């Protein structure tokens, strides 16, 4: 470890890693570049946006049997959001990155330069890259701007520094090619992780996160629509874009406040089975319906609706409603691999999925909160792969490739998950006044049948045959309630 005094404020500054070339002074935010046995102040580093990440400098953990400590971080912003890259130092001096993108974590370690990598400009999602005998597939290609940093870092980074990265995936493994520093990219290898599996210690507590960020990640917060002033609900630290259901204004939520991005021309004219804000209980977890999209196959006339649900514990889930019924759709962390001896099938969890159809899907209408930027007219390429009732879907855009799995769901299951907030509930809500009067009648009938029994109890008990009259009396009292309830259905 190398320690010195900050040339700007005199506070102690240390470099724990021999590979670190830069550190940000904790006290005055001076960016200090290490040169031989001295440090040079190259100006102030922007402060990081205080967000919901439970990770901090000093957080420790274990990855694949090796202990690491977090020593620095950079925040990166791209057009659809931002994420944190935490620089970690392993006990043996190797460096790595623990990435936190709205609670999706990956840990990758530096495995040296990739002289065989294609140039950044020609990379496309879906492109293969062979590493160590395994085919990795390009999943995500993006350029991002560094907007802030802290702690020590393995390269010089400052305001306006641009990261150019491509993430490749193979099953659960990640391989990142980082083109930020020159022509030969650096290669990082790792997996998707969660903080429990990393046995993380010295994380920020919930109280600290609330104190610094205002609330916890995933909690439903609300703000006024910058277009019409109406209330908009969104999960804090998770949603990056809001589309106002009342006026169609699209706002960006990635900064400190909502920034207007544009306006959607089409307003909701269709009826939907589920409404924004609806609560569901699925698999023992609470979900909130935060967004919906109405989509159409390019060149076709039919529509389907996609509902985005969020659970602070389980993350995102999609419910898709089409003329074929309902599907529950989950984005896959474990990617399928090409099936052996077939070029029209992929394999996942011991099952072969046959390639079925490819088409283009167009968003016609969107409302609510989303974790990416969506607008009417957005188009993605889709390929469906089928195994019995199970379906895998591959979704391509210019920057991303996503795999998800869809399973059919019955209307009964949907109704069960949402209580009475689905189709049947909409009917009940429309029949509100009638339902209320039914409720009133019910109360009255209960009161009167109670009184009836009270006054007739001695006769019911002691006089032979009078219990039949009692039953008839009760039936007459309850009749308006029973007929009213059946009228509602």
- Using CB under 5 A, list all residues that contact Zn ion: 6, 8-9, 11, 25, 27-28, 30, 225, 227-228, 230, 244, 246-247, 249
Q: Least distance in Å: CB of 129 to Zn ion?
A: 42
Contacts of 267 (CB under 8 A, 6+ apart): 247, 248
Distances 370 to 1, 39, 84 between C-alpha atoms, Å: 44, 44, 19
Nearer to Zn ion, 27 or 479 (CB): 27
Nearer to Zn ion, 30 or 177 (CB): 30
Phi, psi of 459, deg, nearest 5? -65, -45
- Quickly count: other Cβ atoms within 10 Å of residue 91's Cβ: 10
Q: Least distance in Å: CB of 419 to Zn ion?
A: 28
Q: Least distance in Å: CB of 232 to Zn ion?
A: 7
- The position carrying tokens 């908009």 is 232
Q: Least distance in Å: CB of 102 to Zn ion?
A: 24
Q: Least distance in Å: CB of 239 to Zn ion?
A: 15
Nearer to Zn ion, 30 or 45 (CB): 30
Phi, psi of 449, deg, nearest 5? -70, -30
Nearer to Zn ion, 149 or 315 (CB): 149
Cα separation, 51 vs 115, whole angstroms: 36
Q: Crossing angle of helices 466-488/432-462, nearest 10°?
A: 170
What are the tokens at 306?
């996609």
Cross-strand pairs, 358: 383
Nearer to Zn ion, 247 or 482 (CB): 247
Residue 146, class by beta-carbon neighbours within 10 Å (0-12 exposed, 13-18 middle, 19+ buried)?
buried
CB 264 within 8 A of CB 376: yes
Nearer to Zn ion, 44 or 172 (CB): 44
Q: Least distance in Å: CB of 82 to Zn ion?
A: 24
Nearer to Zn ion, 234 or 403 (CB): 234
Kindly state the DSSP code that residue 120 receives in the 8-state scheme: G
Q: Least distance in Å: CB of 13 to Zn ion?
A: 7
What are the tokens at 406?
């869809």
Best CA proximity match to 2, nearest among 46, 47, 33: 33
């Amino acid at each position: 470890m190398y320690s010195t005094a900050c040339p700007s404020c005199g506070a102690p500054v240390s470099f724990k890693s021999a590979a670190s070339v830069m550190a940000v002074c904790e006290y005055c935010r001076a960016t200090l570049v290490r040169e031989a046995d001295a440090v040079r102040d190259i100006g102030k580093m922007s402060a990081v946006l205080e967000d919901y990440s439970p990770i901090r400098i000093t957080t420790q953990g274990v990855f694949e049997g090796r202990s690491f400590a977090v020593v620095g971080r950079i925040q990166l912003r791209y057009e659809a959001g931002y994420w944190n890259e935490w620089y970690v130092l392993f006990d043996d001096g190797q460096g790595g990155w623990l990435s936190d993108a709205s609670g999706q974590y990956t840990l990758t370690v530096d495995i040296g330069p990739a002289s065989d990598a294609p140039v950044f400009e020609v990379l496309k999602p879906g492109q293969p890259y062979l590493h160590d005998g395994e085919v990795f597939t390009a999943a995500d290609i993006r350029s991002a701007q560094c907007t802030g940093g802290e702690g020590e870092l393995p390269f010089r980074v400052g305001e306006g520094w641009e990261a150019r990265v491509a993430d490749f995936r193979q099953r659960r493994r990640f391989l990142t090619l980082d083109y930020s520093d020159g022509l030969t990219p650096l290669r990082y290898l790792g997996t998707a992780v969660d903080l429990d599996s990393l046995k993380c210690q010295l994380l920020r507590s919930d109280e600290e996160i609330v104190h610094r960020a205002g609330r916890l990640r995933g909690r439903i917060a609300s703000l006024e629509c910058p277009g019409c002033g109406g209330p908009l609900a969104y999960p804090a630290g998770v949603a990056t874009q809001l589309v106002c259901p009342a006026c169609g204004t699209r706002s960006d939520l990635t900064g400190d406040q909502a920034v207007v991005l544009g306006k959607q021309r089409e307003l909701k004219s269709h009826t939907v089975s589920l409404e924004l804000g609806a609560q569901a209980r699925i698999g023992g977890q609470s979900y909130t319906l935060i967004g919906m999209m109405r989509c159409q196959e390019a060149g076709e006339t039919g529509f389907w609706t996609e509902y985005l649900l969020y659970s602070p514990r389980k993350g995102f889930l999609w419910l898709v409603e089409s003329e074929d019924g309902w599907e529950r759709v989950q984005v896959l962390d474990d990617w399928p691999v090409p099936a052996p001896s077939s070029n029209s099938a992929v394999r996942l969890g011991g099952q072969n999925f046959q390639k079925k159809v490819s088409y283009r899907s167009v968003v016609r209408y969107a409302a609510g909160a989303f974790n990416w930027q969506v607008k009417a007219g957005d188009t993605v390429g889709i390929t469906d792969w089928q195994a019995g009732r199970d379906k895998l879907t591959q979704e391509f855009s210019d920057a991303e490739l996503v795999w998800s799995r869809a399973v059919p769901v019955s209307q009964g299951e949907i109704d069960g998950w949402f209580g009475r907030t689905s189709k049947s509930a909409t009917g009940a809500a429309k029949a509100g006044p009638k339902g209320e009067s039914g409720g009133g009648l019910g109360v009255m009938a209960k009161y009167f049948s109670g009184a009836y029994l009270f006054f007739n109890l001695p006769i019911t008990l002691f006089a032979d045959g009078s219990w039949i009259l009692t039953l008839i009396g009760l039936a007459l009292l309850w009749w308006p309630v029973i007929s009213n309830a059946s009228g509602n259905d």
